[in-house]
Structure 1
Amino acid sequence: MAMAADDIERLIKDRFPDATVQIEDLAGDGDHYAATVVSEEFRGKSRVQQHQMVYDALQGNMGGTLHALALKTAAP
């Protein structure tokens, strides 16, 4: 079962209310997405730390319901 782009965005926005989030369905199958997340909470964090924060926000869906996510993160 695939995960909807709206659900991904909601989980990320729940964790990072200030974030600008863009989700793109890369394959049109609801299984392979690209996400760009810009949040002040990323300031001073390494790219790895930023990505871990987003994966935590996805509440265990990464690798399960959400098969693939190409992630770009940044501070404003």
Structure 2
Amino acid sequence: MREEELRAMIAAAFPDATVTITDLAGDGDHYAAHVVSAAFRGMTRVAQHKAVYAALGGRMGGELHALQLTTGVPS
């Protein structure tokens, strides 16, 4: 999966989000994502992560092997 594709999928689900993607291994398979969105307000960290994984439409474990995820709400 390309970095741009990953960013686009997250941005489509969270249009207000600030999304930072880092390729951890240079192989297009292991990424870190930092996602900040007002949509996460009132959600637990686990719920925030589940929402991001849902936005990826089942690609985790297939096209995307690993995602180190950090989420938050704007300050």
TM-score, normalised to structure 1, is 0.96
Within 2, Cα distance between the matches of 1:34 and 1:19?
15
- The equivalent residue for 1:53 is 51
Match of 1:66 in 2: 64
Q: Does 1:7 align with 2:5?
A: yes
Instruction: Provide the secondary structure at the position in 2 that maps to 1:24.
Output: strand
Q: In the aligned structure 2, how far is the partner of 1:60 from the partner of 1:29?
A: 20
RMSD in angstroms over aligned alpha carbons? 0.4
For residue 37 of structure 1, give the secondary structure of its aligned residue in structure 2: strand
User: Structure 1 regions of 5+ residues with no counterpart?
Assistant: none
Aligned to 1:22: 20
> Deviations 1:21-69 (Å, cap 9, x if unpaired)?
0000001111100000000000110000000000000011011100000
SS in 2 for 1:73: strand
Per the alignment, residue 73 of structure 2 pairs with: 75
**Structure 1 vs Structure 2: percent identity of aligned residues?**
61
The two structures have a TM-score, normalised by structure 2, of: 0.97
